[in-house]
Amino acid sequence: MKKVLALALALCMIFALCAVSASAEGKLVGVAMPTKDLQRWNQDGENMKAMLEAEGYSVDLQYASNDVQQQLNQVTNMINNGCDVVVIAAIEGSSLGSALDLAKEKGIPVIAYDRLLMESDAVSYYATFDNYKVGTVQGTYVKEALDLDNAEGPFYMEITAGDPGDNNANYFYSGAMDVLKPYIDEGKIIVKSGQVEFNDVATPTWKTEVAQTRASSILSSFYADGSKIDAWLCSNDSTALGVTNALEDNYDNDEWPIITGQDCDISNVKNMIAGKQSMSVFKDTRTLAAQVVKMIGQILNGEEVDVNDTETYDNNKIVVPSFLCEPVFADVNNYTELLLDSGYYTADQLQ
């Protein structure tokens, strides 16, 4: 009897594998990524490509060098070349309208990856991390590190947000500010530059150099009197790196402000270990890539697609069904467990 059960189980596994292979066989998936300039997009693209190929799909992976027209051309070509599903991490969420219209005309499903595609009803699904929660994690970290509910203050803080063309940047900013703005309003946190509104603190294309130039200007204009910043709220690691670079010549290690980030880029994790960045929200790209690969399989098999949010992400045309992964933060106390023990990085990479 045991042999019969074992044989039956083995046959079931074989049939399941054959079904997966059959659903993937001959299927082409287009993956459009914004740039190779940021470490995280390299990881996102390569993780998804490897996972898709492991399932038997062919993959057309393209990077657009942060050039909107180039990405538009790439996505258009993916659609015209017969991709069965297209996954897009947009440079600018409202720029791909003609390509998305073409996808809809040809009946090709589109998954928005990490950045919501705006102004189009051709977006089938959205897969991302809970972007508002990313901001609340950052804001809460600052709140608890300064003990804002108990400490007398006041504390000096500055803010560096993300790219205005990236819909996520508003979610990151809003989540953090919903935590911290009450303390600004009561005067416990003082932003000496007066730059608080999103449009005043945004960083086009998330560029490190842009963030560094602005941070240097703030330091020379508002902190030349010797007053020290207690916290600098940065929406991601590339902007945090720019702020850190600007602070290098002005701060000793024992007076370094709290600096937030996102993505756990290698340079920033090294800064975290050195005490120059306090935390970074960890969005494991393997988790997001695996979820998208699962969604692609469900789409192509005609199955119900996993989503856990059908209300939040309105792209000004439709509310896009979304799957939100949970973000966590890494700091000097837990980076070994989150980043090394999980195999995300090796110890040599962080030396």
pLDDT computed for residue 342 by the predictor: 93
pLDDT computed for residue 254 by the predictor: 67
Count of domains observed in the chain: 2
Q: Write the CATH number for 259.
A: 3.40.50.2300
Cα of first residue to Cα of last residue in the chain, in angstroms, is 56
The tally of CA atoms less than 13 A away on the side-chain side of residue 348 is 0
Return the number of other C-beta atoms located less than 10 Å from residue 9's C-beta.
Answer: 10
Whether residues 189 and 234 share a domain: the answer is yes
Q: What is the pTM of this model?
A: 0.82
**Is the CB of residue 168 less than 8 Å from the CB of residue 126?**
no
Distances (CA, A) of 273 to 268, 306, 331, 333: 9, 37, 8, 9
Q: Give per-residue burial for 284-309: e unless 16+ CB within 10 Å, then b.
A: bbbebbebbbbbbbebbeeeebeeee
User: Which is nearest to 61 in space by CA: 89, 40, 38?
Assistant: 89
H/E segment holding residue 266:
helix 266-273
Residue 285 makes CB contacts below 8 A (sequence gap 6+) with 40, 43, 44, 47
Residue 205 makes CB contacts below 8 A (sequence gap 6+) with 66, 163, 165
The answer to whether residue 151 is domain-embedded is yes
* DSSP 8-state code for residue 233: E
Residue type, 92: E
Enumerate the β-bridge partners of residue 282.
328
The answer to whether residue 7 is domain-embedded is no
Diameter over CA atoms, the chain = 84
Whether residues 229 and 310 share a domain: the answer is no
Whether residues 44 and 137 share a domain: the answer is no
Whether residues 302 and 255 share a domain: the answer is no
H/E segment holding residue 156:
strand 155-160
Q: How far apart are CA 131 and CA 192, in angstroms?
A: 27
Domain assignment of residue 71, given as a range:
12-123+284-324
The answer to whether residue 345 is domain-embedded is no
Both structure tokens of 344: 């995300």
Whether residues 33 and 64 share a domain: the answer is yes
Whether residues 171 and 288 share a domain: the answer is no
Question: What percent helix, strand, coil does the chain show, rounded to 5?
Answer: 50, 15, 35
Give the residue ranges of the chain where pLDDT is below 50.
1-22
Sign of the torsion angle spanned by Cα atoms 121, 126, 132, 138: negative
Whether residues 149 and 239 share a domain: the answer is yes
Of 232, 264, 283, which residue constitutes the final position of a domain? 283
How do beta strands 155-160 and 231-234 pair?
parallel
Cα 54 to its chain centre, rounded Å, is 24
Enumerate the β-bridge partners of residue 189.
155
Whether residues 144 and 222 share a domain: the answer is yes
pLDDT computed for residue 97 by the predictor: 94
**Is the CB of residue 164 less than 8 Å from the CB of residue 202?**
yes
Q: How far apart are CA 141 and CA 122, in angstroms?
A: 38
Whether residues 102 and 206 share a domain: the answer is no
Whether residues 136 and 279 share a domain: the answer is yes
User: Which is nearest to 74 in space by CA: 46, 53, 96?
Assistant: 96
The answer to whether residue 336 is domain-embedded is no
Q: How far apart are CA 260 and CA 338, in angstroms?
A: 17
The answer to whether residue 291 is domain-embedded is yes
The answer to whether residue 4 is domain-embedded is no
Whether residues 268 and 314 share a domain: the answer is no
Cis peptide before 154 (omega within 30 of 0): yes
Residue type, 250: N
The answer to whether residue 117 is domain-embedded is yes
Whether residues 178 and 253 share a domain: the answer is yes
The answer to whether residue 102 is domain-embedded is yes
